[in-house]
Each structure stands twice: as C-alpha cells, then as structure tokens.
Structure 1
Amino acid sequence: MLKLRKISHIFKYLFGFPKSVYVNFRLLPFNQALKLPIIVSNKTKLISLNGEVNLTKVKTGIIRIGFGGTEHIDYTYTRTILKIDGIVNFKGRAKIGLGSKFIIHKEAIFSAGERFGITGDTIILCTKKISIGDNARISWQTIIMDSDHHPVLDINNNIINNPTEIVIGNGVWIGARCFILKNTNIDDGCIIAANTTITKNFSGIKHSVIGGNNAKILKTYIRWYN
C-alpha cells in the first residue's frame, strides 16, 4: 500500500511538470526557476501570474501547491486556484493543499514563515497584507481575507471599509471552518477552535485557545505539537 501511494505521488508530480515549469519561470528569477522550487499539481487552475514570489531558500520542491488534502476532498474533481498578481514571500518550506484558493491581488503582500501548511480546501484572499509566522497550520475550509471584498461607501462616496492587515504569529494552529478577517492579530502558539470567526486583536495573548461565537480566550498556557 505504501509503495502504491509513492507511485501515485510520482505520477501526480509528473502530470503537473509542464505547469510547474511555467509557474516557476513566470514568478521567479531565471536562476531560481531552473531549480523548480515550486511544484504545482496538474489539478491547479492558473488564473493570473503577474506578480512575484520571493524565496529565502531555493530548493527543488520546497513549495508545493495543490497536493495532499483530507478524506472529504475528491482528488478527481477538485481543483486548486492560483492567482498571484502581488508579492508572495516564503521563508522556507510551504504546502498549499488540494482545493485551496490562493488569491493575491495586485499591490498586496502575503508572507509565510518556515513550514507553512494548509491542509486543503481553504481560501486565502489577500488585498493588502497578510503575514503568517513559522510553523503555522491551517485546517480545511478556512477563509483568511484582509478585506470585505466589496467596498461600502458613505453618503460622500468615501470608502468606509478599507482592507486592514492580518498578522498571525509563530506556531498558530487554525482549526477547520474558521474565518480570519481583516484587522486580526493572533499571537504565537495559539489554537483557533473550529468554526471560529476572528475580527479583532489577540496580540499579547500567547499559547491560548481562542474560540466561541464572539471569539474569546477559552484556555491559557497550552502547547500543541506540529
């Protein structure tokens, strides 16, 4: 069974090879693109690649997009969506799982630390700035977005809901079906309970469980292993 799984992975990488080559040479400097640090599944739909990716480490396959997932994701019919028109910074190894939508708009900046991981079927929509620390884990069907996606105007036609930065610290675990919305700050070592909506600042509150309908501290002095 393990051998068959390895063979399946090899074929998935081979099927995505042409798309991986295109993504690398579109987003990276030529000398980095030659090493193919970004490996893309053939199940990834490329919407737009007019931005740039900056890598602190350049190794073959250090960034994987569209692989993995969970039991409820059907690999045959599920696609990953990739749109990078802004700037993406990866400090180290990263995995964006199958079925995720990774949308970085023009003039936006997305940054992720070492060992960044998305299980799958998650949306990241960056309009201004999203920063995520080292060893962060994001579970399935989570949405992280730093804007309301549609402008709201006052009577003088001024926008009153501008995008606001999201900051997620080191070692943060975000559970399934969470909403991490604009103006959010989550400190190091925190766990966000499943189905939680975060819209405020939790900086200065390290190693805590945050959850509930009106997000609050549920438990302190915790530690999880990733």
Structure 2
Amino acid sequence: MIQNSYRKCRSFYHKFRFYCKVNWTKTLYFNFKKLPFQTAKKLPVFFYGKVKFSSIKGDIQIDGKIQKGMIGFGQPYELNKAHKGIAEINILGKLIFKGKFQFGKDCFVFVGENAVCALGNMASMASAGKLICSEKIVLGDYARFGSECQIIDTNFHDLIDTQTGDKLPKSAPIFIGNYNFMSNRVSIMKGTKTPDFCTIASNSLATKDYTSLGENILIGGVPAKLIRNNISRDWQGEKQQLDDFLTI
C-alpha cells in the first residue's frame, strides 16, 4: 500500500513538473487562434519556454488523430535543459503537420507567403535549429535532425551568370525521405532530395539530389557525398522508445 501511494505521488510530481514547463499563455493563444475549436480544445500544440510569435497569420494544418501535446515547440527532450529564450516562429504561408512533431529549444521557423512546409509524423528538429521555407520543404516520417541543423530552400538573394547575365534560381524545393537521421550541424540547402533510410554525418552540407544512391546510405562532407552503403540507424529497435519518450 505504501509502495502504491509512493508511485502515485511520484507520477503526480513528474506531471506537475512537466506542466510547469509549458508556456500556457502562448499554448492557449496559438491553439484557439489558429485551429478549429473542436481541435483547439484538445491542445495539440504545446509551447515550452519563451517564444516570439513574429507572425502566425499563415495556415496551420494538422493531419491524423488529434492528441494533446502531439506537437511540441521548445520541447525539452534533449540532454540540455536550459532555454536561451531566442525561439521564434514566423508563419506566413502554409505549415502542415502529418502527425506528431517536436521542435527542440531555441528554434527558428519561417514559412514565407505562398510557401508550403509539410512535416512528417514523428519527425523532429533539435535545439537551435533553423527551418526557412520560401517555396517548399517536405520532411518524411521519422526525419530527425540533430542540434544546430538548418534547412533552407533559398539563397535569399538573386545570383546571376556574369557571362550571360541570366538570373539563377533563387529557391528550389527540398524533399527529405522517411527514416532519415541528420546528425548535429547539418545544413540542407535548396534542391536537396534524400532517399528513405539516409544518414548524414555531422557538419555536412547537402546541396543536391541523392536519391539515385539508393536507400540505407551514409553521406557526409562539404559538399556531402557517399561515404558508405548498407548502413542505417536502428529504427526498428528504437521505434517503441521514441514513441514512448516523445509522446506526452
């Protein structure tokens, strides 16, 4: 009986600590401002710590079964727990969640006007990440990015061919496959496409279509190139752990 009471008290304590980390002002405002009432009342989006809403006038779409806290922004799921307080979102276009998604601490998310950004189920971006979408970015299911990664589909500025005077494309869509694992400080630039079960090494720069290399590959370097075939993160072995750990 004493042991059972202890477990209940411990469970209550952990839940209390967790809910104290939620930024309830931003959480309630965002859900009821951007989502239909029947969806908003389930509070599918949680914000943690300090976050700046530069703009949230764009469209927010959540596909699949709606669950409380299925999308976390600033979610403390990593080893480092402290927030720098520089998290910011600027949503002018369309942001689609295909299921559960986690943003780590201090991320910057920008979706420009007329741009579409679709984020796969159980995909994530760890702390200090940047996602800048001016045209189109699609992340597959379980596309997981380490800390300080950046996904940018634009050059920001026009570039020209100095011999012909022709303007070069400023932006190009990014497509990241299912079950991709990007280590820390990986940069995904415009026009990048990766196959399913692709791993990218730390401090790499991806700039092109890698799908012809096939699945179960490790790429890396500046710019990224094939390092090894027949290698993958143990997704099947980790799947239940990820589901349990990242679900409220």
Aligned residues: 223
2:159 is paired with a residue whose SS is coil
Which 4+ runs in 1 deviate beyond 4 A? 1-6, 69-73, 153-159
Aligned to 1:61: 69
**Higher normalized helix content (fraction of residues):** 2
> Which of 147, 153, 160 does residue 146 from structure 1 map onto?
153
> Which of 209, 214, 219 does residue 223 from structure 2 map onto?
214
CA drift of 1:95 comes to: 0.5
Aligned to 1:203: 211
CA drift of 1:29 comes to: 2.2
| Structural mapping, 1:114-133, within 5 Å | 114-133=121-140
In the alignment, structure 2 segments of 5+ residues that lack a partner are 1-9, 236-248
CA drift of 1:6 comes to: 4.7
TM-score, with structure 1 as normaliser = 0.90
Aligned to 2:189: 181
Give the residue type in structure 1 aligned to 2:155.
Answer: D
Tell me if structure 1 keeps the 8 A contact 2:157–2:170.
no
Aligned-residue CA RMSD (Å): 2.2
Partner Cα separation in structure 1 for residue 145 and residue 108 of structure 2: 13
Give the residue type in structure 1 aligned to 2:227.
Answer: L
Tell me if structure 2 keeps the 8 A contact 1:69–1:120.
no
- After superposition, the C-alpha distances for 1:151-199 in whole angstroms (9 at most, x for unaligned) are 3356898742321000000000011111100010011001000000000
Tell me if structure 2 keeps the 8 A contact 1:65–1:98.
yes
Tell me if structure 1 keeps the 8 A contact 2:192–2:206.
yes
| Shift in alpha-carbon separation, 1:207–1:2, aligned structure 2, 3 A | farther
2:19 is paired with a residue whose SS is helix
| Structural mapping, 1:1-226, within 5 Å | 6-13=15-22, 16-57=23-64, 58-68=66-76, 70-71=78-79, 74-75=82-83, 77-153=84-160, 159-204=167-212, 205-226=214-235
Partner Cα separation in structure 2 for residue 30 and residue 158 of structure 1: 49
CA drift of 1:4 comes to: 6.3
Partner Cα separation in structure 2 for residue 91 and residue 83 of structure 1: 19
In the alignment, structure 1 segments of 5+ residues that lack a partner are none
Give the residue type in structure 1 aligned to 2:107.
Answer: S
